[in-house]
């Protein structure tokens, strides 16, 4: 027998989890579908070997790259989605990111909404995700009120680095971080296993803890774990989704609702729409624009480490500093370069995954004298950078990075900064085209159905009762971490749904 609800939400990450929380106080009967399970609290949560060597929490499936080679995507399926593993750096986009911006490789397109439209939702999202920060220090900061919580103080070595960065004429600022109850009983202990790890004490602000668990306390919200949405089934006209076909622990079931909100992550949401093709939608659901799966972006990201043989680094929680001086323009170019953030400490096991034949002890000696940074630039939307699904339903990720000149310039800038800080050796590493952590842009939102898949409230132009609220709506990737913007837009869409649909 078909089961009926008022709303079905598919996915429990930054978009779906936030949406479930925002709608849970309505009277609607909500079914939340999640293909994974709850991630258990266990010692392996904080074990670098389990996380980096055995990939214990990684999605088990393989995707194919542009040459048809299989690879394990850097993504996670479970309650909370990728937010369980994020570094919890929770940035607002810069005000200018909502406008068209000229880059070395072309134009980063304007969004259909401006910063002021999203600002109240950023504020709500920051409260929901317990964001800590310092207002007024970041030269690129958009207009805003105070952060809900004060910034995490820099540990001594990082505080000294911040002073030296200022002496270089730079404007370092505090990274905005979603961490709960820092220093309190049962709160965040500022450990060195945060980014890429699950928080063993549930003190990281992520969608499972902050949104899904509170939402399912309500009697109107039902969560099915191990429940994968296989296809969206439409009515004979193809204008409305009637039901979702779900693989629930191996059994295929059909669930119905007058409103369906997809939030499977930018790659999987596009794949779900492509797999849901029908006679009325032969190229995939909601794809009259031909853009479903296209314009995939993921940022250009390079990890950099400054090393000094006689300068041991005792910092435990290192991820507190941002350098945004090159966000809008470089020293030698008028074009934007991107953002620099201090990173969590590199673990020897993680370093060993890059060059496995170097003994672990050598890496331990190395990483204990290193300071770690992430250098991140915007990549631009291109129709040819896309997700496709083959006859067997497998995901192909066809992606050629662009804006590389800007990124190389930012990496060179960081090298100069690290040299001036006195580091003897600088190493760098990038996952390149297979870096799927900041995936976005595959179902772009906009005003014109010919040039976008979703409208400005993330409803598909073609299918009237279908919304998508994960990172796929991004028309541009900007150069800050995407999570808070996904959550803010989910809150905005939830308000719109409450006002118009419930
Ligand atoms: C290691 C790591 C560190 C990161 N650090 C940061 C950071 O510091 N700051 C930041 O802003 N961002 C960070 N990110 C990125 C951030 O996590 C993502 O941008 C964000 O989680 C995306 O939210 P989403 O809702 O689009 O998708 P996700 O969070 O990926 O959620 C998608 C959900 O849908 C589920 N799902 C997928 N397909 C189906 C299906 N067919 N049926 C049912 N369920 C399905 C998945 O299991 C998952 O729960 C990081 C990511 C990673 C991996
Ligand atoms: S204790 Fe704090 S720093 Fe450590 S994983 Fe949890 S939230 Fe992150």
When pLDDT is averaged across residues 277-299 and rounded to a whole number, the result is 95
Residue with the two structure tokens 């990111």: 97
The yes-or-no verdict on residue 1 having pLDDT over 70 is no
CA of 208 to the centre of ligand 2 (A): 15
- Taking residue 69's Cβ as centre, other Cβ atoms within 10 Å add up to 10
For 335, residues 6+ apart whose C-beta sits below 8 A from its C-beta are 102, 103, 104, 329, 406
Q: Tell me if 426 sits within 8 A of 418, measured CB to CB.
A: yes
Is 491:121 a contact under the CB 8 Å cutoff?
Answer: yes
**Which residues contact ligand 2 via a Cβ below 6 A?**
179, 188-191, 193-194, 197, 199, 201, 203-204, 317
Q: Measure the CA–CA gap between 122 and 247, rounded to whole angstroms.
A: 35
Is the Cα torsion angle 325, 329, 332, 337 positive or negative in sign?
A: positive
Residue 345 has pLDDT above 90, yes or no: no
Nearest Cα neighbor of 427 from 330, 321, 307 is 307
Assess whether the C-beta atom of 385 lies below 6 angstroms from ligand 1: no
Q: Is the CB of 326 under 6 A from ligand 1?
A: no
Is the pLDDT assigned to residue 29 strictly greater than 90?
yes
Q: Which ligand is nearest to the CA of 207?
A: 1
Summarize pLDDT for 312-328 with one digit per residue, the tens.
889 999 999 999 999 99
Q: Is the CB of 11 under 6 A from ligand 1?
A: yes
52 lines ligand 1 (CB under 6 A): no
100 CB neighbour count, 10 Å cutoff: 12
Please give the Cα distance from 465 to 461 (Å, whole number): 10
Q: Please give the distance, rounded to the nearest whole angstrom, from the Cα atom of residue 195 to the centre of ligand 2.
A: 9
pLDDT digits (tens, 9 = 90+) for 45-104: 999 999 988 999 999 999 999 999 999 999 999 999 999 999 999 999 999 999 999 999
Averaged pLDDT, 418-435: 88
Predicted confidence (pLDDT) at residue 494 exceeds the cutoff of 90 = yes
Contact 339, 193 (CB under 8 A): no
Least confident of 290-299, 366-375, 395-404: 366-375
**pLDDT category, 153, cuts 50, 70, 90?**
very high
> Averaged over 227-236, what is the pLDDT?
96
pLDDT tens readout for residues 302-316: 999 999 888 888 999
How far is ligand 2, taken at its centre, from the CA of residue 104, in Å? 38
| CB-based contact 269:468 (threshold 8 Å) | yes
Q: Which two tokens stand for residue 496?
A: 């719109």
Helical pair 14-23 and 483-500, crossing angle rounded to 10 deg = 40
Q: Summarize the confidence of residues 393-400 as an average pLDDT.
A: 95
- Report the C-alpha gap between 424 and 7 in whole angstroms: 57
Name the closest-CA residue to atom 3, ligand 2: 190
The structure tokens listed for 364 are 């331990």
């Amino acid at each position: 027998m078909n089961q009926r609800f008022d709303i079905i939400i598919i996915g429990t990450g930054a978009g779906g989890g936030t949406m479930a929380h925002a709608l849970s106080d309505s009277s609607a009967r909500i079914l939340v579908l999640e293909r994974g399970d709850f991630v258990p609290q266990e010692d392996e949560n904080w074990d670098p070997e389990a996380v980096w060597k055995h990939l214990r929490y990684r999605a088990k499936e393989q995707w194919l790259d542009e040459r048809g080679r299989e690879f394990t995507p850097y993504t996670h399926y479970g309650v909370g989605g990728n937010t369980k593993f994020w570094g919890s750096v929770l940035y607002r986009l810069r005000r200018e990111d909502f406008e068209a911006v000229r880059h070395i490789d072309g134009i980063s397109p304007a969004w259909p909404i401006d910063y002021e439209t999203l600002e109240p939702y950023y504020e709500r999202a920051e409260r929901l995700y317990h964001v800590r920060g310092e207002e007024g220090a970041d030269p690129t900061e958009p207009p805003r009120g105070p952060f809900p919580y004060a910034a995490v103080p820099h540990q001594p070595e990082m505080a000294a680095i911040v002073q030296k960065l200022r002496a270089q004429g730079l404007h370092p600022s505090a990274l905005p971080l979603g961490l709960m109850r820092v220093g309190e009983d049962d709160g965040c202990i500022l450990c060195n296993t945060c980014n890429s790890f699950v928080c063993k004490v549930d003190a990281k602000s992520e969608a499972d803890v902050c949104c899904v668990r509170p939402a399912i306390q309500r009697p109107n919200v039902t969560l099915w774990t191990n429940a994968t949405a296989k296809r969206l089934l439409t009515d004979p006209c193809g204008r409305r989704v009637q039901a979702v076909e779900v693989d629930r622990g191996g059994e295929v079931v059909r669930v119905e609702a007058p409103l369906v909100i997809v939030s499977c992550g930018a790659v999987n949401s596009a794949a779900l729409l492509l797999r849901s093709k029908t006679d009325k939608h032969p190229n995939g659901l909601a794809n009259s624009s031909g853009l479903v799966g296209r314009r995939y972006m993921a940022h250009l990201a390079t990890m950099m480490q400054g090393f000094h043989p006689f300068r041991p680094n005792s910092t435990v929680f290192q991820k507190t500093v941002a350098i945004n001086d090159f966000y809008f323009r470089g020293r030698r170019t008028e074009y934007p370069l991107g953002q620099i953030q201090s990173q969590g400490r590199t673990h020897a096991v993680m370093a060993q995954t890059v060059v496995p034949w170097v003994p672990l002890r050598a890496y331990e000696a190395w990483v204990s004298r290193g300071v770690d940074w992430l250098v991140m630039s915007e990549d631009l939307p291109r129709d040819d950078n896309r997700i496709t699904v083959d006859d067997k339903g497998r995901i192909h990720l066809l992606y050629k990075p662009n804006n590389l000149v800007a990124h190389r310039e930012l990496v060179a800038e960081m090298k100069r900064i690290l040299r001036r800080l006195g580091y003897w050796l600088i190493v760098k590493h990038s996952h390149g085209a297979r870096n799927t952590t900041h995936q976005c842009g595959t179902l772009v939102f906009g005003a014109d159905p010919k040039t976008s898949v979703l409208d400005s409230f993330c409803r598909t132009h073609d299918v009237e009762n279908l919304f998508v609220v994960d990172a796929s709506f991004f028309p541009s990737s900007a150069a800050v971490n995407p999570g808070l913007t996904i959550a803010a837009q989910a809150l905005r869409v939830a308000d719109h749904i409450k006002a118009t649909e419930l």
